[in-house]
Amino acid sequence: NAASESAALTVSVSLSATRPNVNAVLETGGVITGVMTAADTHAPLPGAIANVSSATNGSYVGSAYADANGYYQTPSLPAGDYKVSFSAGPWMAYLDEWYNHASSLDAALTVTVQASGVISNVNAALDRGGSISGWTFDALTAVLLNGVHVSVHHATTASVVREADSNNWGFYQVNGLASGQYKVQFSKDGYWTRWYSDTLDFAPALTVTVTAPNETPFTNVSLRRVLYTYLPLVTRGANMP
């Protein structure tokens, strides 16, 4: 009845022998349930994800998906203290959060689970985030480019926050951004990678300010094609220096 591999008793087995009475009495475990909705429309968010982490060390324990009504139920959990985070999943316009409307694991309320039973009403109403949008062009022809990969980075840490691709009309929109400052990178096969606005590197890139739930439009870019120069291969002859 150990809680981990390291705490479990070792079972020794001899060749051609049976080791009897390695028995187990499994506990039922407790579960966490709740409903995930959109804060602005109060509509359920089917497919949104509830992630359970240990309140002690933050390690991942398990997760559950919301059904058509936004309802979720975690797998059975051992008795203990947990923290629950909520991800919008396919609803990319909405911001992730921790219970109860917290922005981090440390700030989240602790959910205590008993050896059996249900902890209900661990709910979340996810806020709509802001967005960055714009158009992607070929710098030489001014033709709109589809399939340009757009990645939004924190302006201070450079970590990737959200990503998207430009559509068939060269338009892109990156949703689900918290209020703050970002830098935007654009890349496409056959073109030089650029940061907004027209820089090669992160440091000199312009900062884009987002105020949720508003859109920051016209964050456009023109990409230059990579030009390859092929030189003939010269083979050194026997009498060549």
- Give the model confidence (pLDDT) of 13-27 as tens digits: 888 888 888 888 777
Please give the full DSSP string across 71-100, using - where no structure is assigned. EEEPPPB-SEEEEEEEE-TT-TTB--EETT
* E strands in the chain: 29-38, 49-54, 60-65, 71-73, 80-87, 97-98, 111-113, 116-119, 124-126, 130-138, 149-154, 160-165, 171-177, 180-187, 194-195, 208-210, 215-216, 221-223
- Give the model confidence (pLDDT) of 123-165 as tens digits: 999 999 999 999 999 999 999 999 999 999 999 999 999 999 9
Residue 102 has pLDDT above 60, yes or no: yes
Per the prediction, the chain carries an average pLDDT of: 91
- The pTM assigned to this predicted structure is 0.75
Sign of the Cα pseudo-torsion (28, 29, 30, 31, in order): negative
Q: What pLDDT, on a 0 to 100 scale, did the predictor assign at position 63? A: 97
Q: How large a percentage of the chain has pLDDT more than 70?
A: 93
